[in-house]
Amino acid sequence: MSSRLCVVGAGWSGAVTAACLANLGHTVCAVDVDKDRVETLRQGQAPFYEPDLDDTIARNLEAGRLSFTSVLAEGMADADAVMLCVQTPAAATGEADLSALWTAVRALGPLLRPDVMVITRSTVPVGTNAALARHFRKEHSGTPVDVVSNPEFLREGHAVEDFTRPDRVLIGAADERAGKAAAALYDGIERPIIVTDLETAELTKYAANAYLAASISFINEIANICERTGADVSVVSETLALDRRIGPNAYLDPGIGFGGSCLPKDLSALITTAEAHGHEPELLKAIAHVNELQPKRVLAHLEEIFDNVIGLDVAVLGISFKGDTFDARSSPALAVIRLLSNAGVRVHAYDPMADGTADGQLEAPTQLHGDAYAAVAGCHALIVATDHSQFKELDLDRLGGLMQTRVLIDGRNVLDPDEVTRAGFSYVAIGRPQRGD
């Protein structure tokens, strides 16, 4: 059964959600205050790269199931349900900043008929959906409005795939009827649909990201122990992943730490929630602390190799928070660049997709180059800070020929140690025995 849906917020999550729900057969109108973004989307182009997203948008625009507008009343006309997909970034205090959500809710108020379901897709602290329900009930003189939690589990670079073939769909509702109505929106997606209460759905989203963060800080801690004992973390990781209780897709790739717009913010929001409710989250704080320390491992390696790093020219390949994405938000590569700059290193950076200057994250002393070879020319060392596919194809001999000294610190363990040492480099990886002289 198809529904008429209004999606509020056409950013990364909203645009993917709107396009994929239209693709399921619903009639979807996505609303965004950014008129340029609306215009781009109306042309069938998302203002950011996600595999298959432009095609999904264009196909459903063509079919008349998908539309975009900057006028909320237009989006809400005849809507059976409205989906809140606005950003809830981390505030300076670590808790979730819900200002955009409440701005959308206030704008929605006069347009919301009591029979229209409100579905919160944005990641929000436990208790937020109940507060929304109270707000709407008050606005409608006591008439209850269904508010449902439906957190997304989309990964950047895999968002359409993760929506279309999710591991599970999660629905939180105050009553079974609302839960079932929201679950029905996902008819056509043959995957487990968990229907629970609001608080459990809200907390589960944070728990999911905190667990992934835990796995990453765990393997980084193990890598640091490997470096001191001569063990090889890549074999440890491979062996753990063969355990059916851990699995082949476990987050066990060591590196310079986790970043992005979700894991760091959701971990800090969960810590804040725990503390606000009188629980001291020792483990969660340790996960965050290990992650804050991890970028320092790169500087430590550099200081072990060079007596004095002040004035060194070092190339950092990668600015994005993870491979094959444009996104530099909370990128550990930027943390590495800051640490090196502050230590007196002259940093030469290159990234094939992101440059971190858009939101002012890349600080001035860093020299930005147009390709990897220009970035390494004349440098004493090069650091791989993001696992872009392009970096696995670099001509190592050519790179080495351009450098003053052939030192390569692989912050993501993405290169082949044998190939790197054959090209004459001293090779340092995370948690693996050093190779070459």
Which residues participate in catalysis according to the annotation?
262
Please report whether residue 95 would count as binding ligand UDX according to CB under 6 A: no
The nearest distance, CB 418 to ligand UDX, in angstroms, is 23
- The neighbouring-strand residues paired with 30 are 7, 68
Beta strand pairing call for 169-173 and 313-317: unpaired
Please report whether residue 361 would count as binding ligand UDX according to CB under 6 A: no
The nearest distance, CB 136 to ligand UDX, in angstroms, is 26
The nearest distance, CB 323 to ligand UDX, in angstroms, is 7
Please report whether residue 49 would count as binding ligand UDX according to CB under 6 A: no
Among 48, 49, 218, 251, binds ligand UDX (CB under 6 A): 251
The nearest distance, CB 255 to ligand UDX, in angstroms, is 4
Which of the stretches 163-171, 209-217, 342-350, 354-362 binds ligand UDX when contact is defined by CB under 6 A?
209-217
Please report whether residue 340 would count as binding ligand UDX according to CB under 6 A: no
Here the tokens at position 372 are 């990897």
Please report whether residue 263 would count as binding ligand UDX according to CB under 6 A: yes
Please report whether residue 153 would count as binding ligand UDX according to CB under 6 A: yes
| CB nearer to ligand UDX: pick between 222 and 375 | 222
Please report whether residue 296 would count as binding ligand UDX according to CB under 6 A: no
Question: Residue 73: how many CA atoms within 13 Å on its side-chain side?
Answer: 1
Please report whether residue 11 would count as binding ligand UDX according to CB under 6 A: no
Are 323 and 390 in contact, with CB atoms under 8 Å apart? no
Tell me the C-alpha distance between 8 and 18, whole Å.
Answer: 9
Are 148 and 173 in contact, with CB atoms under 8 Å apart? yes
Please report whether residue 218 would count as binding ligand UDX according to CB under 6 A: no
Please report whether residue 156 would count as binding ligand UDX according to CB under 6 A: yes
The nearest distance, CB 59 to ligand UDX, in angstroms, is 24
Q: Which residues neighbour 87 within 8 Å (Cβ) at sequence distance 6 or greater?
A: 9, 11, 100, 122
Are 362 and 354 in contact, with CB atoms under 8 Å apart? no
Among 133, 236, 262, 339, binds ligand UDX (CB under 6 A): 262
* Positions in 57-86 near ligand UDX (CB under 6 A): none
Among 42, 155, 285, 338, binds ligand UDX (CB under 6 A): 155
Q: Quick one: DSSP state of residue 394?
A: -
Tell me the C-alpha distance between 120 and 117, whole Å.
Answer: 10
Q: Which residues neighbour 323 within 8 Å (Cβ) at sequence distance 6 or greater?
A: 157, 386, 387, 388, 389, 412, 414
Among 57, 212, 336, 372, binds ligand UDX (CB under 6 A): 212
Please provide the distance, in angstroms rounded to a whole number, between the alpha carbons at the two ends of the chain: 66
| CB nearer to ligand UDX: pick between 27 and 149 | 149
Are 5 and 36 in contact, with CB atoms under 8 Å apart? no
Residue with tokens 């912050």: 411
Residue 428: name the closest of 382, 379, 397, 371 by CA.
382
The nearest distance, CB 159 to ligand UDX, in angstroms, is 8
Please report whether residue 186 would count as binding ligand UDX according to CB under 6 A: no
What is the DSSP secondary-structure string of 4-37?
Answer: EEEEE--SHHHHHHHHHHHHTT-EEEEE-S-HHH
| CB nearer to ligand UDX: pick between 227 and 253 | 253
The nearest distance, CB 260 to ligand UDX, in angstroms, is 3
Please report whether residue 203 would count as binding ligand UDX according to CB under 6 A: no
Among 101, 154, 334, 423, binds ligand UDX (CB under 6 A): 154
CA angle in degrees (0–180, nearest 5) for 185-6-149: 55
Contact positions vs ligand UDX (CB under 6 A) = 152-156, 209, 212, 216, 251-253, 255, 258-260, 262-263, 321-322
